[in-house]
A and B are shown apart, each in its own frame.
Chain A
Amino acid sequence: MKFINYIQALGMAVSLLMATAAALAAGPSYRLAVDGLACPFCAYGIEKKLSALAGVERLETNIEDGSVIVTMQDGAILDEAAAQQAVKAAGFSLRTFEQVAPGAPEGQ
């Protein structure tokens, strides 16, 4: 029984370590406010276009406030003009573009 508890604790520690490492390795995050985004079926195109940009690590779309959080890979940045072009190609309009989290410092 104690051995099982030890294995579970070890597994949680490893998971936490991996998650922390991933967070530290992530690059900057940007918040894109997208006008015209009003249904789930429409969100597919915008995620497809943004994820095709170089250096994009992950996307989080929130349809209620019409925003997409774009997190870049470590060392990558998102160019506003490229983001605007991707949003337009998906059939929508980019209202605002702002960096919401800096990337990990060099060497981490």
Chain B
Amino acid sequence: MHSVLKLAMASLSLAAAAAWSAPITFNTALPVHEGGYVWREQLIFRQSADDPTPARRDMQVTGLVSVLGYGVTADFALFGMLPWFDKRLDMRMGEQDLSRSQSGVGDLTVLGRYTAYQYDAPGRTLRIAPFLGVKAPTGEDDARDGLGRLPPALQSGSGSWDALGGAVLTYQTLDFQIDSQLSYQANREANGFQAGNRWRVDGSLQYRLLPRRLGGGVPAFLYGVLEARLLHATKDRVGGSADPNSGGATLFISPGLQYVTKKWILEAGVQVPVQQRLNGSALETDYLFTSGFRVNF
């Protein structure tokens, strides 16, 4: 069950980190110009209904993720991400059907990214940028319903201060762009629960479908997008003991489309798990749909 929370949070934080990037599901090193802002909104829907256990768990998470990026200098940018969640879990307990849900603002993540290496040439650029961030417990982590305290997977926040860091590489040309990211998030304990730490490796290819030939000026681009994400999480700890039904590895493949103009971007994609090796009866993901926009100002 706890892996559901981790996967949802991972997906949403990845989406948020993509605020300054071309990829749909993760961050890259594309620039936010000095003194400029990037605002991103993403609507995310996640479905997990393929539960083989008698509980027949069916979980749906809808998230609206607001992201604001600011270019402090040409090389250093700050990003803030605040999600809003609507979570619902239906399950069967004994002969009863139960439904539990929770809505609210989630945890705020703040990231700093520094472009450590940059090579520019006509019509292309290569950038490598490490980033470091912290997740603050701004979301509700002690929500209750008639059955008592909601499980961590249904809480809007984790209740803990967590740290994350990594590096992102971008190679962009006029015809295509390749991005790759490696990141790690260390989670801390709150309310007797500690979500497992996680590694994440991302890759993305964006290929210009339209216009086929570039003319003068700055035409809008339609990109076809194919992304892959490997997520590995260690087991959660409950009351100091490892939860055997949590953690594991998932590989997502995500086709999508982006319409890119000078001022704004529209994008949508579907993340499909092609390999899930989760521990015990941790709930697997069926799919994750993402759509949103970005604005430069």
Interface residues of A (CB under 8 A from B): 33, 35-49, 60-66, 88-93, 95
Residues of A within 8 A of B263 (CB): 44
Interface of B is mostly: loop
Q: Complex formed: what's the CA distance from A65 to B220 in Å?
A: 16
Choose one: B121, B172, B296; the contact of A44 (CB below 8 Å). B296
A64 B174 Cβ-Cβ under 8 A = yes
Q: Complex formed: what's the CA distance from A91 to B31 in Å?
A: 6
Q: Complex formed: what's the CA distance from A63 to B216 in Å?
A: 7
Interface of A is mostly: mixed
B123 A37 Cβ-Cβ under 8 A = yes
B122 A63 Cβ-Cβ under 8 A = no
B120 A41 Cβ-Cβ under 8 A = no
Residues of A within 8 A of B218 (CB): 40, 43, 61-63
Interface residues of B (CB under 8 A from A): 22, 30-36, 71, 74, 115, 118, 120-125, 172-174, 177, 214-221, 260-263, 265, 294, 296
Q: Complex formed: what's the CA distance from A69 to B146 in Å?
A: 66
Residues of B within 8 A of A91 (CB): 31-34, 71, 74, 115
Q: Complex formed: what's the CA distance from A36 to B117 in Å?
A: 13
B220 A40 Cβ-Cβ under 8 A = yes
Q: Please name the residue on chain A nearest to B122 by beta carbon.
A: A66
Q: Complex formed: what's the CA distance from A43 to B134 in Å?
A: 31
A41 B34 Cβ-Cβ under 8 A = no
Residues of B within 8 A of A60 (CB): 217
Q: Complex formed: what's the CA distance from A65 to B215 in Å?
A: 10
A36 B121 Cβ-Cβ under 8 A = yes
A36-B120, A89-B34 as given contacts; A64 in contact with B214, CB under 8 Å: yes
The minimal Cβ–Cβ distance linking B207 to chain A, given in whole angstroms, is 12
Q: Complex formed: what's the CA distance from A36 to B115 in Å?
A: 14
The minimal Cβ–Cβ distance linking A91 to chain B, given in whole angstroms, is 3
